[in-house]
Structures are given as C-alpha cells and as structure tokens.
Structure 1
Amino acid sequence: MHKGEVFKGQRQPIISVAQWEAGDAIIVHRKRGTTRDRYNEIPALLAGFL
C-alpha cells in the first residue's frame, strides 16, 4: 500500500496468509493487558532455581 493505493506484489509471498494471521494473533495476544499481567501469565523459566 502506498498513499492509500494497494498494489499487487511482484514476487511470491514468503509465508502463507494462514501463517501471517497466526503470527498476528500472537502479537495481538501479547499486547493485551499491562506489562505486569503478561509477566504473571508466563512464569519465569528459572523461578525457584536461583
């Protein structure tokens, strides 16, 4: 897209639309909530070992 106009690509896509949407969903999920919420959601790998 350039200045609101969409152009057809000249090369084959590197990834499929399904792969793009899956990656985008991960990014959207990670952006939700506050930073503290994200850290509480995924435990630290070395918690309890140090």
Structure 2
Amino acid sequence: MATAVPAERDAVARAFPGPVRGTPVPGAAVQAVDGGPDLLAAGVGPALAAAS
C-alpha cells in the first residue's frame, strides 16, 4: 500500500496488531506488517503537498 509520507505510513502500520519490519529498498523503506499489507511512503496524494 502506498502512502504519501512516512508519518502516514507509520500510522497505518500501527493499526495492525502484528509486528512491523523495515525493509530497505532503493530510495525508500518498506514497512512489512505481519498479517497486514506492505507499506511504502511513496509521495502520492494530497498529503504530500500538505506535509511540504
């Protein structure tokens, strides 16, 4: 799942009960949630503009 900013990604990750593992990828870090989605702060949507 792509979010706009890291704070948004982390908030979504906290909504799942499983542990979160960070996995570095070129230019970013994917947060993998056990029993949930993989999350990437990819700079999409209006939240990016609001956070800038």
Question: TM-score surpassing 0.5?
Answer: no
Determine which structure has more spread, i.e. the larger CA radius of gyration. Answer: 1
From the two aligned structures, give the one with the greater strand fraction. 2
Of structures 1 and 2, the one scoring higher in RCO (CA 8 A, sep 6+) is 2
| TM-score, normalised with respect to structure 1 | 0.30
